[in-house]
Structures are given as structure tokens and as C-alpha cells.
């Protein structure tokens, strides 16, 4: 390739990256005529064409390149381009066929002991750092929902946004966008209100009737808006293409739920009364983080694994495989097999990916099994953390699959013991969080443990240990409304306690070194 051609392609690539598509087209159009079989020119031109509503023009050009190239890697790439263009044109049968070709070429490559080179993804850093960590994204979410609520538009946090708010108390720091939902009765009003509030509608390759993307021009944050509607005793959402058959739809099903007014620092918004119902339908075990989750494909409440969803899954599986990200590709092959255990192509892809990962000494991912969870809750002071605390936490964790510990406040310790702990609450919480038997730490919970509190947090068992009969009476009194099957008393470790350690310190333990030698 000539130096001049390299420079022109680099310039066109930069123009595409900065959305100066007309300028890029003025460079790539002539290059396509001058170098019709150049893969570098063809890649950029096809990428530009699919961004500018010319996917139909991609098909004959990509087919010509596919016929010209020889290696399985390049065949896989151009079959994937053909599949993507057909997908955008909503010719799902053709897209499906091309994605099958892509995966067969990739498996042939794996059979020959080869994998595509790992292509590092360039991370674009927003000015000011991660807005999901800084709180800017959450502020934008609430101010937007407040504006909609004032217009009597019941929009509320949904999907990954709702998950972060409920599970973590804030947005997920690795999230890429905000998700809200609105009833289809308010869909048009919601879209108009968002644009009046400054949100800019983002172009989508497939225009769905109940799903739309917006971008905030200042922060660059994407807002996904999902439309919901009632269907009998259920609520449905997903991707709707009304003029197409059932295989062109993605329907996710939720149980009925209500919205309530929720106060924020920016005003009142709408929020699900029982967000756990939505999250359980969507994610299954939503309390266990899954970094490989894909909203479109992984959702537990998909009504059917339609051709539309399968094409999404094949597209992303092949996309990650082509970029050398075998771990991510394996996750997509695995998810397809979970949805359709008879999908031979997904099963074979997963098998070849496992062989490649093993050969390269890379770990095969662990996909959360969504097995029934048994979540254990306890409260403790954990002052001067010692062997007795470790024994208790080990036994508590063994009661279930997840252990949450509330490290009580200094004020509560004074109320119950009549004196301040040696360590402050933050210090005690840090030590408990570092214990390998503990999955989560809380610092603010009600003194009394009620059925409502247990259900709200998904806890199945409340456990404790008692050093005396007086302490036993007090602890049972605090959980008096719980049914017996939710309470589990554990043995207290004799011979060690925080009080004893304090006495050792006061007595000067360790001040006299016996039988030691200096080195």
C-alpha cells in the first residue's frame, strides 16, 4: 500500500471517528473506484456506508471482496460484514446465513490452531473522568426524571440503571448509559419532552416502535428509553417491529408492578414500588454481579429466543471472536446455548473457543449459574476483630450462599453495652469487609429485624451467637416477629472475647518478652 493511500485512509478514519461523514465520503468514494479490491479501503467504506443508510450498497461490494479473499480469517470478516448489512436491512434470513458462514470460518481457523489477533479497544475518556463514578450521570438521571414527572409523564429508572440504584445504592460505575422506562400511552409525550429538555435523538440502525436512544450533548451520556405496555396480567417490553412477524420481535415479560413517588435531592420522581420484582424477572439472581451480562440476549424474561435475538447473539459472538476477545466470544456462545440447548453452531463454537483458551493458558469464564440463593444476614460489633469473630462468620456463611453483615454504629454499641467500642465503626466495617467469609457489609439497618426488612433485602436467614442468657433474650427480642425458620443461633466461641482482649491490653500483655533473642 502506498504512503499516500495510507495517509488518506488515516484521514478518513479520523473523520469518521469525529462524525464528519460527508468529508470522509469525499475521500473514500474515489478510493473505492481506484482500489476496488483493497480490503483496507473496503472496510472503511462499508463502515461509513452502514452509518449513512447505504447498507444495501454494502452487499454487492462486500460479496465481491468475500469472493476475492482466501484465508478463513478474512472470509469470516467479510461474511460478518454481509451479515451486519443484511441485519440492518432487516433481512434476517440472509443475516442468519451470513453469520453462520462467519462462525464456520472462525471454527475452521480454530481447528487449524489459529486465533485472530487481539485488537485492543480504544477507550475514549470523557472530560472530567467517569461521570458514573463522579455522580454527574446520576444527577442527570434524576433531573431528567423530575422534569418528566412534572409533566405527568411516569418515566422511571429501568434495566441496569435500576439494578445499580437498588443493589449498590448508586449507578453502576462501569455502566455506559442511562436506562428509563415509560408506558406506551406516554411514549410520544416522553420523547417530545426529552428533546425539549436538551436530549438529542441518536440515529439507530434499526428503528423500533418502543425503544429509542438519546444523547446528552454536553456530557455525551446515552439515554435508552424503553416503552412498556400491559398484556393481560403481564407487562411487556423489548424491541417491537409492528409490521413484521413474531420472529422479528424481542418480547420480555414482567409481572405487574406499581409506581410510587420517590423523593430525590432534585425533586419527586416515579420509582417502582417493588423494584425487586422487575430485577428478578430480568436478571434472575440480580444480587450476584455478572460482568458478562448482555441485556438484549441474557435477559431471563425473554418470551422467545426469536430470529431477531439469535442474529443479535451471533453478530456479537462473531464480532468478539474476530477481534481476538475469546473470553467475551465464549460468553456469547454460552448464552446462546443456555437459551437454545439444541443450537449446534453455538455448542461447537463454545467448544472450539474453550480449546483455544486452554491452549493459550487463558481462563475459561465462570458464568453465574443463577442457582437458588440462600442469603444470610447478621449484626455484630466486631470490635478488636479476633478468632471468635472469624469462627462465627465462617459458620454464618456456611448457612447459605451469601453473607451480609451489619456492623453496628458506635451509638448503638453505647446503647447496648454502655460504653464506646475501641475501634470506630468505619474501622470495624473495613476489617469485617476484608474477611473472606463476608460478601457484603452494611452500616445502617433497623435495630429490630422484621420480615419486611428481610424480604426487602432478599435475606433468608438471620443468625447470631450469644455469650450469655441475658444476651440471648435481648437478641431474640429484636427478631421476635420473624418465623422460627428464618432464625438460626450459632455457637459462641468460648475463651476469647473483645472484653478479654481489652483486659490483656490494660494489664500490659506483651510488655515482657520471655525467651526471645535478638537477631
The pLDDT value given to residue 509: 61
Is residue 210 pLDDT above 70, yes or no? Answer: yes
User: How do 259-264 and 250-255 pair as beta strands?
Assistant: unpaired
Cell triple for residue 36? 476496488
Contact 309, 321 (CB under 8 A): no
pLDDT confidence tier of residue 457, bands split at 50, 70 and 90: confident
Mark 76-103 as b/e (b = at least 16 C-beta within 10 Å): bbbbbbbbbbbbbbbbbebbbebbebbb
| Distance, CA of 475 to chain centre | 38
Mark 416-453 as b/e (b = at least 16 C-beta within 10 Å): eeeeebebebeebbebbeebebbbebeeebeeebeeeb
Mean of all residue pLDDT scores within the chain: 91
Average pLDDT over residues 323-343: 94
Percentage with pLDDT > 90 across the chain: 71
Would you call 503 helix, strand, or coil by DSSP? helix
Is residue 494 pLDDT above 90, yes or no? Answer: no
The pLDDT value given to residue 1: 53
Is residue 410 pLDDT above 70, yes or no? Answer: yes
Closest to 328 in 3D by CA, of 286, 300, 291, 374: 291
The pLDDT value given to residue 366: 82
Contacts of 127 (CB under 8 A, 6+ apart): none
The continuous run of DSSP H or E covering 57 comes out as helix 55-68
The pLDDT value given to residue 2: 79
pLDDT confidence tier of residue 419, bands split at 50, 70 and 90: confident
Query: To which residue does cell 443479535 refer?
Result: 312
Closest to 182 in 3D by CA, of 221, 210, 207, 206: 210
The pLDDT value given to residue 432: 93
Mark 359-390 as b/e (b = at least 16 C-beta within 10 Å): eeeeeeeeeeeeeeeebbbbbbbbbbbeebbe
d(C-alpha 60, C-alpha 65), whole Å: 9
Is residue 512 pLDDT above 60, yes or no? Answer: no
* Interval 273-320: pLDDT, tens: 989 889 999 998 888 888 889 999 999 999 999 999 999 999 999 999
Is residue 387 pLDDT above 90, yes or no? Answer: no
The pLDDT value given to residue 371: 56
Q: What is the DSSP string of 128-193?
A: TS-HHHHSHHHHHHHHHHHHHHHTT---EE-HHHHHHHHHTSS--TT--EEEEEEEGGGHHHHHHH
Q: Which domains does the chain have, with CATH numbers?
A: 79-114+305-366 (no CATH), 131-303 (3.30.460.40), 375-504 (3.40.50.620)
d(C-alpha 356, C-alpha 215), whole Å: 39
DSSP state letter for 122:
P
Would you call 441 helix, strand, or coil by DSSP? strand
How long is the chain? 519
* Interval 420-443: pLDDT, tens: 888 999 999 999 999 988 988 998
Average pLDDT over residues 465-482: 91
**Which residues does residue 382 pair with via DSSP β-bridges, in sequence order?**
none
Is residue 49 pLDDT above 90, yes or no? Answer: yes
pTM for this predicted structure = 0.75
Contact 171, 132 (CB under 8 A): yes
> What CA–CA distances, in Å, run from 282 to 70, 255, 262, 368?
43, 10, 22, 15
Amino acid at each position: 500500500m502506498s504512503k499516500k493511500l495510507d495517509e488518506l485512509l488515516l484521514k478518513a478514519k479520523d473523520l469518521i471517528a469525529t462524525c464528519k461523514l460527508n468529508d470522509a465520503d469525499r475521500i473514500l468514494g474515489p478510493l473505492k473506484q481506484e482500489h476496488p479490491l483493497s480490503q483496507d479501503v473496503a472496510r472503511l467504506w462499508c463502515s461509513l456506508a452502514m452509518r449513512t443508510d447505504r447498507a444495501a450498497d454494502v452487499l454487492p461490494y462486500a460479496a465481491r471482496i468475500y469472493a476475492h479473499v482466501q484465508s478463513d480469517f478474512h472470509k469470516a470478516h467479510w461474511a460478518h460484514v454481509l451479515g451486519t448489512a443484511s441485519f440492518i436491512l432487516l433481512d434476517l434470513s440472509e443475516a442468519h446465513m451470513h453469520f453462520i458462514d462467519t462462525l464456520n470460518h472462525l471454527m475452521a481457523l480454530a481447528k487449524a490452531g489459529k486465533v485472530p489477533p487481539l485488537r485492543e479497544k480504544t477507550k475514549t475518556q470523557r472530560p472530567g473522568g467517569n461521570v458514573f463514578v463522579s455522580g454527574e450521570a446520576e444527577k442527570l438521571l434524576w433531573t431528567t426524571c423530575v422534569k418528566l414527572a412534572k409533566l405527568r409523564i411516569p418515566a422511571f429508572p429501568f434495566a441496569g440503571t435500576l439494578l445499580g440504584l437498588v443493589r449498590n445504592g448508586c449507578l453502576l460505575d462501569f455502566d455506559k448509559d442511562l436506562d428509563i422506562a415509560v408506558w406506551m400511552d406516554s411514549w410520544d409525550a416522553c420523547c417530545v419532552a426529552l428533546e425539549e429538555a436538551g436530549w438529542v435523538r441518536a440515529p439507530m440502525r434499526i428503528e423500533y416502535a418502543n425503544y429509542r436512544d438519546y444523547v446528552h450533548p454536553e456530557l455525551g451520556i446515552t439515554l435508552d428509553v424503553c416503552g412498556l405496555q400491559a398484556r393481560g396480567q403481564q407487562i411487556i417490553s423489548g424491541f417491537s417491529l409492528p409490521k413484521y412477524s413474531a420472529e422479528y420481535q424481542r418480547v420480555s415479560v414482567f409481572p405487574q408492578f406499581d409506581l410510587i413517588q420517590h423523593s430525590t435531592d432534585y425533586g419527586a420522581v416515579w420509582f417502582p414500588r417493588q423494584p425487586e420484582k422487575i430485577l428478578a424477572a430480568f436478571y434472575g439472581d440480580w444480587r450476584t454481579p455478572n460482568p458478562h451480562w448482555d441485556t438484549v440476549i441474557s435477559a431471563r424474561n425473554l418470551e422467545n429466543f426469536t430470529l431477531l435475538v439469535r442474529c443479535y447473539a451471533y453478530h456479537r459472538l462473531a464480532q468478539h471472536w474476530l477481534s481476538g476477545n475469546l473470553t467475551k466470544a465464549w460468553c456469547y456462545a454460552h448464552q446462546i446455548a443456555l437459551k437454545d440447548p439444541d443450537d449446534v453452531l453455538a455448542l461447537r463454537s463454545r467448544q472450539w473457543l474453550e480449546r483455544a483458551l486452554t491452549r493459550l493458558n487463558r481462563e475459561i469464564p465462570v458464568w453465574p449459574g443463577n442457582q437458588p440463593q440462600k442469603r444470610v444476614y447478621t449484626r455484630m460489633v466486631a470490635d478488636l476483630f479476633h478468632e471468635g469473630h472469624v469462627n462465627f462468620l465462617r459458620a454464618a456463611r456456611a448457612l447459605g450462599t451469601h453473607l451480609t453483615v451489619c456492623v453496628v454504629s458506635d451509638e448503638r454499641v453505647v446503647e447496648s453495652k454502655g460504653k464506646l467500642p475501641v475501634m470506630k465503626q468505619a474501622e470495624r466495617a473495613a476489617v469485617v469487609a476484608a474477611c473472606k467469609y463476608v460478601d457484603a457489609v452494611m452500616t445502617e439497618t433497623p435495630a429490630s429485624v422484621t420480615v419486611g426488612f428481610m424480604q426487602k433485602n432478599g435475606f433468608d436467614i438471620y443468625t447470631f451467637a450469644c455469650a450469655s442468657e441475658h444476651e440471648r433474650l435481648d437478641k431474640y427480642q429484636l427478631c421476635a416477629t420473624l418465623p422460627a425458620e428464618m432464625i438460626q443461633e450459632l455457637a459462641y466461641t468460648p475463651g476469647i472475647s473483645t472484653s478479654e482482649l481489652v483486659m490483656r491490653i490494660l494489664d500490659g500483655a506483651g510488655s515482657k518478652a520471655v525467651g526471645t533473642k535478638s537477631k
